[in-house]
Amino acid sequence: MKISFHGAAGCVTGSNYLIETDRFRFVVDCGMFQGNKTLKENNYRAFTYDPATIDFALVTHAHIDHTGLFPKLVKHGFKGPIYATPPTVDLLKHLLPDSAHIQEIEVMQKNRRNERKGLPPIEPIYDGTDAANAIALMKGVEHYASFAPVAGCKVTFHNAGHVLGSSFIEIELEDKGKKRKIIFSGDLGEDDKPILNDPDRFTETDFLVVESTYGNRNREQNSKEDRLAGLAEVFKRAEKRGGKLIIPAFALERTQDLLHDILILKQQKKISGIKVVVDSPLATEITKVFVKYPECYDEDASEIMKKMGGLFDHPDFRFTNSVDESKALNDEKRIVILSASGMCDAGRIKHHLKHNLWNPANTVLFVGYQAEGTLGRLLLEGAKTVRIHGEEVAVGAQIEQITGYSGHADQNGLINWLSGVKEVRQQVFVVHGEPDAADEFAALLNSKFGFRAVAPRMNEVFELLADQPSAKPVKITPARPVETPKSVDSHNLYAELMLKLAEFMRSSKDEKTRRETLSKILSQV
């Protein structure tokens, strides 16, 4: 029995884990790599295993960095069932076609540029047909309803409190007369987050695969009251500035969390009647899925629904659909725009930033994690100029950030989730974190709980049947070892260089200085 790590190992995105026994093979998650261009190039590479040999797949939750390559898996030969909770299946019916559309549009734009450069065309990772074929293989299984995908394997989904329908997965395996239990945490939410019930706990397992997005840091501790007060203050400051309040928000979960809290603040009359526009057709459809599953709501959300008649119903809320409606927002003032994507690396949010970042009257509010190399991270780190759609855009808007909306438990939250675990008999694999975060969290688990924890890297393979655990997991040298790309890659550095060169040319008035400086740079390349 073996486990191998084909994504979210040495990085945060691309979750994909392969379990192999003598009788069957299956994957847990099959996610898309997100972040800088070097990391995203992994999406175009061939799988390091043959998809046609995989018997079934399990899904922790609907986020694209955990599901976005299932259409590619199907395109290259996978034909087995894909098991997920019913809300996850319903969400993926919208998310995967949207992802396919993004692939097709981005490739069309790249091929136009490639044609002008004399470069060969490229193909999308997958298309809408592949997404539809993947959705057709999905089977909904309720939380806590144990099932057997094949003989010798029992699976149970438990609530992970991360997004609607999210799970940590308990898997009981039998191979060569030996039994092993392995738990995949997926992504874990914090206690007392908006809308959803708190994550479930477990007490024992043989192996644990645990996320570490915030494995080496803690966020400022905010209660629900602190979170609402912080959001209200940003609204008030933005209105005083007289411009737009633009909030990059993922279509899944963050948009719904914000609508939930804005509705509360409006109900309490702590913010004005300012109009709130959700400029994302995908977010609109996902909000409808949230409405479909009120049994997933916590007590606060259930109470709001009873009082208001609906969790996302308010006369100040407006949902756009067409591109023309989105563009028309350029002419509106004193409005709030919620638009995807949450890290500003794709979607309509880039259009809004391109047209509004320059204006000091506007405010941009970040409410979630911004990965290294993304436009969102650059803005948070104080960039004065950024490149959007190939153009330089000055940053004049007020950049704000509030905590309390992360879908991920921080280090304390992860430790709290693990505090009730009485026994991990074999090993802990720490995944879904930048190398420093994963390594530090693994060391913390070893010192605090006495676990045998390690942070795997891409394509590493480990044996699961050893009876006596060693100080380190039994590792099998992978056939195709891959170095995890750096968070800041050459494409990021190139973009930074272009911005600095442009600023140098504008600010330097001396031709001799410009010529000598540029000659030095050219001599190095």
The string of pLDDT tens digits covering residues 126-169 is 999 999 999 999 999 999 999 999 999 999 999 999 999 999 99
Q: What is the mean pLDDT of the chain?
A: 91
**Angle ∠(183,154,162) on CA atoms, nearest 5:** 40
How many whole angstroms separate alpha carbon 416 and alpha carbon 251? Answer: 28
Q: Quick one: average pLDDT of 47-75?
A: 97
The CATH number that domain 2-217+407-476 falls under is 3.60.15.10
Q: What is the pLDDT of residue 511?
A: 83
How many whole angstroms separate alpha carbon 137 and alpha carbon 57? Answer: 10
Name the residue with higher pLDDT: 306 or 438: 438
Q: Residue 481 — pLDDT band, cuts 50, 70, 90?
A: very low
Please check the confidence at residue 480 and state whether its pLDDT lies above 70. no
Q: Residue 357 — pLDDT band, cuts 50, 70, 90?
A: very high
How many whole angstroms separate alpha carbon 470 and alpha carbon 98? Answer: 45
How many whole angstroms separate alpha carbon 71 and alpha carbon 64? Answer: 11
DSSP E strand stretches across 34-146: 56-58, 82-84, 138-140
How many whole angstroms separate alpha carbon 417 and alpha carbon 488? Answer: 31
Report in angstroms the alpha-carbon separations of 131 from 125, 136, 250, 396, 511.
Answer: 11, 9, 20, 40, 55
**Residue labelled with tokens 């098991």:** 83
* Those residues with Cβ within 8 angstroms of residue 157's Cβ, 6 or more apart along the chain or in another chain: 85, 141, 142, 143, 144, 145, 167, 168, 169, 170
Name the residue with higher pLDDT: 194 or 478: 194
CATH of 224-401, one of 2.60.120.20, 3.90.1150.10, 2.60.40.10, 3.40.50.10890: 3.40.50.10890
How many whole angstroms separate alpha carbon 260 and alpha carbon 290? Answer: 11
The string of pLDDT tens digits covering residues 30-55 is 999 987 778 888 999 999 999 999 99
Domain ranges of the chain: 2-217+407-476, 224-401, 490-523
Please check the confidence at residue 399 and state whether its pLDDT lies above 60. yes
Q: Which of 431, 434, 472 is nearest to 168 (CA)?
A: 431
Residues forming beta bridges with residue 211, ordered by sequence position: 431
Q: Quick one: average pLDDT of 253-270?
A: 94
Q: Quick one: average pLDDT of 263-271?
A: 93
CA 470 to chain centre: 34
